[in-house]
């Protein structure tokens, strides 16, 4: 399998990752997460998830981005992974029919510290896909104003902002296909709120060792998650069912649906 410049059939791959039909009566957006892990459960290698990736994973990554309406990421992950606005040559045009050439990045930053108003993430978004900054009432007004020069700034509530408010703010803008790309803390918040519908997980044929985080941050002591479907007696767990698993050069590309999700 190859990337956008290669010979792979994006339609065939996209057919393996269908979104449910979202009609006018859709209750909320469909939230899909895309993550990668080592064989021993590490979410990063040398501090970055990209070190675990391979050609097949990068291809699926580009297809999932092409299918999404918006890409949701935490500010820490955006900084560590050097996020930039999605370029048209990074997506498959056939999968963007009827929509802007690229999906916008929506970065969650409670206080906006470290976000560069004129940096590549905020300042280079195409006109139809300006980067979105999801922040809180605690963010300094000056930082919000500076970011608003190049990005769309949404104050989604008090600090800390609730996942329901984040997804609700995106839904108000018409984004029904949300692709969450991490990091572990953001994914934990989404899972804890019972908002994760789907997990696309690549297992890399690498033993990372060390103390790298998992793809989901462990809840605080005594904390529980909102959804424990199918796992009676385990209030901190979320049930998943396997939709498919693909193999390429030792990489396993798994697609899971939350138990009870259509």
- Residue 178 included in any domain: yes
Q: Is the dihedral of CA 183, 227, 70, 38 positive or negative?
A: positive
Q: What's the burial of 184, exposed, middle or buried (CB within 10 Å: 0-12/13-18/19+)?
A: buried
- Residue 175 included in any domain: yes
- Residue 106 included in any domain: yes
Over the Cα atoms of the chain, what is R_g? 18
> What predicted TM-score, i.e. pTM, was given to this entire model?
0.89
Specify the pLDDT at position 234. 43
Specify the pLDDT at position 128. 73
Specify the pLDDT at position 223. 43
- Residue 189 included in any domain: yes
Specify the pLDDT at position 75. 93
The string of pLDDT tens digits covering residues 45-104 is 887 888 898 999 999 999 999 999 999 999 999 999 999 999 999 999 999 999 999 999
Residue pLDDT tens, the chain, 262 long: 544 444 568 889 999 999 987 654 567 899 999 999 999 999 988 878 888 989 999 999 999 999 999 999 999 999 999 999 999 999 999 999 999 999 999 999 999 988 999 999 998 776 778 999 999 999 999 999 999 999 999 999 898 889 999 999 999 999 999 999 988 999 999 999 999 999 999 999 999 988 888 999 755 444 444 443 333 344 467 899 999 999 999 999 999 999 877 6
Residue 186's CATH number: 3.40.430.10
- Beta-carbon neighbour count of residue 146 at 10 Å? 18
- Beta-carbon neighbour count of residue 235 at 10 Å? 13
d(C-alpha 262, C-alpha 244), whole Å = 15
Q: Which residues contact 143 (CB under 8 A, 6 or more apart)?
A: 111, 112, 113, 115, 117
Specify the pLDDT at position 100. 93
Specify the pLDDT at position 228. 38
- Beta-carbon neighbour count of residue 201 at 10 Å? 17
- Residue 33 included in any domain: yes
Q: Are 154 and 124 in contact (CB under 8 A)?
A: no
- Residue 38 included in any domain: yes
- Residue 200 included in any domain: yes
- Residue 16 included in any domain: no
Q: How many domains does the chain have?
A: 1
First vs last C-alpha separation in the chain: 28
Specify the pLDDT at position 232. 38
Q: Which domain holds residue 159?
A: 28-219+226-258
Specify the pLDDT at position 106. 97
């Amino acid at each position: 399998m190859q990337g956008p410049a290669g010979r792979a059939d994006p339609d065939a791959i996209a057919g393996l990752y269908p979104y449910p039909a979202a009609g006018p009566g859709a209750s909320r957006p469909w939230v899909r997460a895309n993550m990668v892990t080592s064989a021993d459960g590490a979410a990063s290698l040398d501090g970055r998830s990209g070190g675990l990736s391979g050609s097949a994973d990068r291809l699926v990554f580009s297809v999932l981005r092409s299918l999404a309406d918006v890409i949701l990421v935490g500010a820490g992950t955006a900084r560590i992974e050097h996020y930039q606005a999605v370029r048209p040559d990074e997506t498959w045009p056939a999968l963007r029919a009827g929509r802007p050439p690229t999906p916008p990045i929506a970065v969650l930053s409670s206080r906006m510290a470290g976000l560069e108003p004129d940096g590549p993430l905020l300042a280079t978004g195409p006109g139809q896909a300006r980067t979105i900054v999801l922040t809180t009432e605690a963010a300094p007004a000056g930082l919000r104003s500076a970011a608003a020069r190049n990005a769309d700034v949404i104050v989604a509530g008090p600090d800390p902002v609730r996942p329901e408010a984040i997804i609700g703010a995106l839904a108000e803008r018409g984004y029904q296909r949300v692709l969450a790309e991490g990091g572990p803390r953001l994914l934990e918040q989404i899972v804890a709120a019972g908002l994760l519908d789907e997990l696309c997980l690549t297992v890399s044929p690498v033993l990372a060792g060390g103390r790298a985080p998992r793809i989901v941050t462990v809840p605080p002591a005594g904390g529980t998650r909102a959804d424990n479907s199918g796992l009676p007696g385990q209030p901190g767990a979320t049930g998943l069912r396997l939709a498919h698993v693909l193999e390429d050069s030792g990489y396993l590309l798994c697609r899971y649906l939350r138990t009870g999700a259509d």
